[in-house]
Amino acid sequence: MLSHVGMICFTACYLAAFLLECSRCCFRSGVRGAVMFGFAAAGWIAHTAYLYHQIVFQDGHLLSSVQGWMIAVAWMLMILYLYLTVYFPKTPFGLFLLPLVLIAIGSGKHFANAAAFPPDSVGQVWRMVHVASFLLVTVTIFLGFVTGLMYLLQAANLKRKHPKIGRLKLPPLEWLQTANSRLIGFLIVLLAAGILTGFAINRLNMQNQNASVSLLDPMVIVTIGMFVFLLLFTVTLKKWQPAHEGKRLAFVTILCFTAMILMLAFALASSSAHWYQKNKLQEQSQTSFLSTDDTR
């Protein structure tokens, strides 16, 4: 019950902050910034309490479900939003970032009963690093999508000789290009960490004769594909038509976002070894309970 109330609370706060962000297009206000930040901060506090409740009082494996994963991603995106709102109060980051936060929460709610990660007990440290890396990868891709989109809008606008989009002023192109470049670099490091720890977990599973994830698993293929593509892109970028560097960086961040969405959709719809159906999980836990009983 509390979890439901919590989700409604912070989602409503984020929605209010988003509507206030939208009002930037219509009029100026001296107090809007403070009210907007207040809603976002209040929502984030409720969000944090909700996550704490989930971790401590529920099953303790927050990131093992799609819902938990998406809620955690939204929570981290909100930290970035609050930071950006404080340091760049006049830039409408929220117009781009808050819809993603709301979509993440909404999709988490939608797939609440859909899937979960397999409950392995081996290599807990490796698993933690693996999960943390991919959580940060998801957040970085979301943020990259925002800065990439902003870059393309800003570049098109300046070419059309308009310094603003209506009343909205976006960050300078140079800033957005630097942000995109850094996010891609960060993404490569995180993907490398995630892939390496994934291999380590698989090896441990094989040693313990547990089920392992195949290299042909769609999520593994897309992840490794993304990593290789980004690595090659970064290495060859400077040599390969440098005049288009800014635009290419922006397109790549958007491409990564699209690939991630498609990968998640495909994984949820198919039988990726990364995801277990809930009933499967329940069956497994019942089996393990019975087997423990038998042993007694």
CB count within 10 Å of CB 250 equals: 25
Among positions 128, 158, 221, 290, the unique one binding other proteins when judged by CB under 8 A: 158
Q: Quick check: 94 and 85 in contact, CB under 8 A?
A: yes
How is residue 51 written in tokens?
């996550």
Q: Does 89 sit near other proteins (CB under 8 A)?
A: no
The candidate with the shortest Cα–Cα distance to 134, out of 190, 66, 78, is: 190
Among positions 111, 135, 152, 175, the unique one binding other proteins when judged by CB under 8 A: 175
Q: Does 163 sit near other proteins (CB under 8 A)?
A: yes
The string of DSSP codes covering 5-68 is: HHHHHHHHHHHHHHHHHHGGGT---SSHHHHHHHHHHHHHHHHHHHHHHHHHHS-S-GGGBHHH
Among positions 139, 170, 190, 219, the unique one binding other proteins when judged by CB under 8 A: 170
DSSP 112: T
Find the part of the chain contacting other proteins (CB under 8 A) among 80-88, 190-198, 239-247, 264-272: 239-247
Q: Does 172 sit near other proteins (CB under 8 A)?
A: yes
Measured from the CB atom, the residue of 30 and 60 that comes closer to other proteins is 30
Q: Does 246 sit near other proteins (CB under 8 A)?
A: yes
Find the part of the chain contacting other proteins (CB under 8 A) among 44-52, 213-221, 237-245, 255-263: 237-245
Among positions 5, 19, 29, 45, the unique one binding other proteins when judged by CB under 8 A: 29
Residues in the chain: 296
CA distance 91 to 72: 25
CA distance 85 to 283: 46
277-285 long-range contacts (CB < 8 A, ≥24 apart) are 277/114, 277/115, 278/113, 278/114, 278/115, 278/116, 281/116, 281/119, 284/119, 285/119
Measured from the CB atom, the residue of 156 and 228 that comes closer to other proteins is 156
Measured from the CB atom, the residue of 3 and 234 that comes closer to other proteins is 234
Among positions 1, 26, 28, 291, the unique one binding other proteins when judged by CB under 8 A: 28
Among positions 121, 159, 279, 294, the unique one binding other proteins when judged by CB under 8 A: 159
Give the x/- contact pattern for other proteins in 190-229, rule: CB under 8 A: ----------------------------------------
Q: Does 61 sit near other proteins (CB under 8 A)?
A: no
CA distance from start to end of the chain: 36
**Binding residues for other proteins (CB under 8 A):** 28-30, 154, 158-159, 161-164, 169-175, 178, 241-247
